[in-house]
Amino acid sequence: MSEFVSSNGYEECRATADWLLSSTKVRPTVGIVCGSGLGGLADMLKDPQVFKYSDIPNFPRSTVHGHAGQLVFGMLKGKPCVCMQGRFHLYEGYPVQKITLPMRVFKLIGVETMILTNAAGGLNKDFKVGDVMIIKDHINLPGIAGVNPLVGPNDDRFGLRFPCMSDAYDRKLGQLAHDVAAELGFKFVKEGVYCAVSGPSFETIAECRMLRTLGADAVGMSTVHEVIAARHAGMRCFALSLISNCTVMEYDSQEKANHEEVLETARQTAAQLEKLVSTIVARMEHSNTSF
């Protein structure tokens, strides 16, 4: 890697993957990332085997309140899964390559499909707190400014130098999610574009108005970096945002975004989100897509 700093190089990811493979008999084909307050998704796994991030070689540590900081292996509706209970964010100070290391490790242990969840601020005026948005596309603001996990030398063992992102979010899984939501009578399930910002400060009113004008329906501080690394490595991706707060668009509004509201909304709606995700996993067919 010479003069370039790499914190998610092939050898490093391989060593972490081998450590995990020798520590559990579970061979996951599905990876799940639990967003803020949504760690309960991991509690659905049968016969769970838990590894604290601090015990896993090369893994970063989760520093955010509401994120447990552990990997959970187990079975969900008969499918072998690995769950990240807690993820890594730019605002914690990690380089974007370190944030996405788990995606490359998952690829090396055999994961084919990534399901990512997050809590996000609603920008679309039709969204209400407690809605769930199927992410159909993203705007990567840090990426546009040069903070992309694939910056640096490309390792062809993971994927292409210039991966396509017009199919970042798997359309079949999106359709399956709509079908499952309709069957469950979940009228609060919507669809839209997620915009990533670096945080940790929430957006100003002017920024919210700008993001809406740009075509974003929800804003958050995660997910897109993981999706880019996962797609680069040929895994299919499906992602959901829980609308935990509505962003402030008017100067005479008394509303103020805060992390406690984000966690409280997640607590109230987690059970429905878990039902949605577990039913999608149960119905999912094996992935035969890559790039």
Please list the active-site residues.
Answer: 36, 67, 89, 91-92, 119, 221-222, 245, 259
Query: What tokens appear for 29 in the block?
Result: 């084909």
CB neighbours of 72 closer than 8 A, spacing ≥ 6? 42, 45, 48, 49, 50, 51, 82, 83, 85
Which of the stretches 70-78, 114-122, 125-133, 171-179 binds ligand HPA when contact is defined by CB under 6 A? 114-122
The whole-angstrom separation of Cα 51 and Cα 19 is: 11
Cβ count within 10 A of residue 12: 17
Query: Which residue spans within the chain are E strands per DSSP?
Result: 30-34, 46-52, 70-76, 79-85, 113-122, 132-140, 189-196, 218-220, 236-246
Minimum distance of ligand HPA from residue 265's CB (angstroms): 9
Considering the rule CB under 6 A, would residue 257 count as an interface residue with ligand HPA?
A: yes
Number of residues lying near ligand HPA (CB under 6 A): 14
Query: What tokens appear for 100 in the block?
Result: 């996405």
The whole-angstrom separation of Cα 269 and Cα 69 is: 21
The burial class, CB within 10 Å (0-12 / 13-18 / 19+), for 73 is buried
Considering the rule CB under 6 A, would residue 210 count as an interface residue with ligand HPA?
A: no
Give φ, ψ of 194 to 5 degrees.
Answer: -100, 130
Which of the stretches 99-107, 119-127, 153-161, 169-177 binds ligand HPA when contact is defined by CB under 6 A? 119-127
Interface residue with ligand HPA among 72, 82, 119, 276 (CB under 6 A) is 119
Nearer to ligand HPA, 45 or 119 (CB): 119
Considering the rule CB under 6 A, would residue 224 count as an interface residue with ligand HPA?
A: no
Considering the rule CB under 6 A, would residue 120 count as an interface residue with ligand HPA?
A: yes
Minimum distance of ligand HPA from residue 200's CB (angstroms): 9
Considering the rule CB under 6 A, would residue 150 count as an interface residue with ligand HPA?
A: no
Interface residue with ligand HPA among 158, 169, 194, 202 (CB under 6 A) is 202
Nearer to ligand HPA, 114 or 219 (CB): 219
Minimum distance of ligand HPA from residue 77's CB (angstroms): 28
Contacting ligand HPA within 121-140 (CB under 6 A): 121
Give φ, ψ of 49 to 5 degrees.
Answer: -125, 125
Q: Using CB positions, name the residue nearest to ligand HPA.
A: 121
- What residues make contact with ligand HPA under the rule CB under 6 A? 119-121, 197, 202-203, 219-221, 244-245, 247, 257, 262
